Structure 1
């Protein structure tokens, strides 16, 4: 409740700022771009559409624009934000409820500036602050692919936002402060080509910072803490900086495997919102995923005052870790072996996640297991529930 009150207070401040910058009539809408002169002919540019399919996999388009049980790209997925619920829209080429009547110019304007085809402003739950950096060639390929999909008639549900955020012209002030259009700074002459490509994908189509960068009270990414960890749908999105020099360091092969399969030896399995991302990246260009991994591994540490390997504090209900001989083995046998022991039937992506880690140089890299002090009674026995207080590379549900 306090969070919603604070968000409402922020919204009131934004309205005041908007008035100071000329009021709603100055920023409410933009004129519609040139209308489509002829329907886009599916198959007219199959090569561009094929490239667009690979790029859409990097952008995770299908996962965000497909509701549970819905048709691909037809929208309707609820996105929970501190400001209310925003529903993803239909991006199939349906003329009435999708983007079938959009020209390439209209599509590019929405992607880069957050302005819909009819001129109304979009909300940054759609990550146009990242998509603004997409190249013309990649934008054309994405457009060709989307227009080659089967049209689906599916109007988007109405958003459920706190007052007064349903008033879209407010976003004009947000864009004034937080939308940085144009291309990214030129790469350093010493940067390897795959690192340059990876940076472009991470900062634009991949929009990794949308989850892995902390947000301010207005829902904008804190650029001074880029990729230093954030939250999404109640899950912690870990920092992506300094991966190559962690106590259990990532290698190029491990990171590529994680991104394409959701699994990496010595690091574990993707979970929560990251799992559908890895499913999409399995269909992306292998060279692009290699480039993303190369760029992430080249990132330095988080910066001054930010710990490189944040460790969650044990919960108040956690009891001390048992040091009795065989205690860890007994706990593993009771709680983990059914999935992770040799010969266990569980598999994920053709491989079972390994729980064995190489001994790190510092003890903080270990997963610390403890027995909760709250015991569930089942007849005459009490079952100890293990809780993992720190796992270096996993997202975990925020309680």
Structure 2
């Protein structure tokens, strides 16, 4: 009898476990709609601003591809994802999605047909958006040109290629409700918090991630690495040795050159061009909220940068390279410094940073031309400068701004970035 009792308990536990797993990993399909309701111009204008704030086109428009048609590869530690088509095409896009289906995807990461979306789609942040903003975003996306395009298949490693397992990730990280204003803060600060924490999902790049790709809650906004670039810490920007002002940060956020800091490049460039499409007061609200973020790290601060250290032979070679390749735009007497606000490089954030990663990436990749904001185009030097030249140039620039704290990982970082560029 005792043995039968044990077997019965084990079976009961197994049934409960299977039931819990089924409940966790299954979601019902939401019925299709034949024709989404048409929205008025005011709703579409609001929706466009929400979509810009959420950087939707940044991920869902591949280079050379149609607007919002997807297909952009996102390389993660767990494999490569391809973004989906979110135009109103009825077969390959979201043309048959109801508002309820769209809202579920935005808040819970569940597609219309019930399958789980990977959290590279930042639904953990979109969950914090208001009902009205989600509805306006839906209306706008349903108004763009429908494009028939199906993204390539994802290439995820086991076990992450089994989508239902995302449900357990959600159990750990999918929490919270739409943000409510804090009564002890100004309307502008609250607007900035809403944009940064919600649609803008800034912490998804500017925070370190744990082993399963979730943000480390204790280190939010303390910086991360995205596509081989450093997403710098957003905390303590007013307390840094080279501090930011609101005007400087607004310029940076809107695709312009921030005096004394430089301009957005790499993954941040398209984000800045999206923010540039928002009302100016939104950019100021974002800047105000970010500049109010205080440092939380217990690490001892780095010693202040000093100058006057005698340059090494490699730095002297870098000085010659600078004169030949960079001085026409960034030299002290360069006309481009006045005509198009090209910055001096010695005190830019990329040169002052603790890691040489962003400076190296900018030298190699340049900054592409854009018609969406005032241009700060820079050509890519990857084809013309070898690793020795890049290291010499970076060492020279670092010596000009922070000679007492040379980059000890300079050569290693260059090699790793070059190797990453060569990967298919």
Fold conserved (TM > 0.5)?
Answer: yes
2:328 is aligned, of 329, 338, 342, to: 338
1:250 aligns with 2:244: yes
Q: Name the structure 1 match of 2:36.
A: 40
What are the superposed Cα offsets for residues 195-243 of structure 1, whole Å, 9 maximum, x if unpaired? 1110111011000011100000000001110110001111111000111
Q: Give yes or no for contact 2:318–2:393 (8 Å, CA) kept in 1.
A: no
SS in 1 for 2:394: strand
Correspondence for 1:374: none
Cα RMSD of the aligned pairs, angstroms, is 3.5
SS at match of 1:80: strand
1:173 is aligned to 168
1:386 to partner: Cα distance: 1.5
Q: How many residues align?
A: 352
Could you tell me how far 1:329 is from its partner in structure 2? 6.5
CA–CA separation in structure 1 for the residues paired with 2:65 and 2:317: 47
Note the alpha carbon deviations across 1:134-178, whole angstroms, 9 max, x for none.
101111111111011000011121100001211111011110011
Greater share of strand? 1
1:28 deviates by 2.4
- Distance between the aligned counterparts of 2:98 and 2:303, measured in 1? 46
Preserved CA contact (<8 Å) 1:57 1:284: yes
Residues 1:30 and 2:45 are matched in the alignment:
no
Greater helix fraction, Structure 1 or Structure 2: 2
Kept in 2: contact 1:130–1:205 (CA 8 A):
yes
Q: Is the 8 A contact 1:241 1:297 kept in 2?
A: yes
Unaligned runs of 5+ in 2: 1-15, 357-383, 403-412, 418-424
Distance of 1:49 and 1:310 partners within structure 2? 51
Which of 298, 304, 315 matches 1:305?
298
Match of 1:387 among 394, 398, 404: 394
Unaligned runs of 5+ in 1: 1-18, 313-318, 369-377
Deviations 1:311-331 (CA, angstroms, capped at 9, x unpaired): 99xxxxxx973499x999756
Q: Are the counterparts in 1 of residues 88 and 145 from structure 2 also a CA contact under 8 Å? A: yes
8 Å Cα contact 1:29-1:119 kept in structure 2: yes
SS in 2 for 1:231: strand
The match for 1:375 is: none
For 1:367 and 1:357, the matched residues in 2 are separated by 14
- Aligned mate of 2:184, from 172, 187, 190: 190
> Which of 123, 127, 137 is the aligned partner of 1:128?
123
TM-score, normalised via structure 1 length = 0.79
Confirm whether residue 354 of structure 1 aligns to residue 344 of structure 2. Answer: yes
Pick aligned residue for 1:221 from 191, 198, 215: 215
Query: Contact 2:330–2:337 (CA<8 Å) still a contact in 1?
Result: no
Change in 2 beyond 3 A, CA 1:310/1:142: farther
Q: Which has the higher contact order (CA 8 A, sep 6+)?
A: 1
Please say if residues 241 and 304 of structure 2, whose CA atoms lie closer than 8 Å, have aligned partners that are also in contact.
Answer: no
TM-aligned CA distance change 1:25 to 1:242, over 3 Å? same
Verify the 8 A CA contact 1:111 1:132 in the aligned structure 2: yes
Question: Relative to 1, partners in 2 of residues 1:129 and 1:311: Cα closer, same or farther, differing over 3 Å?
Answer: farther
8 A Cα contact 2:103 2:134, kept in partner: yes
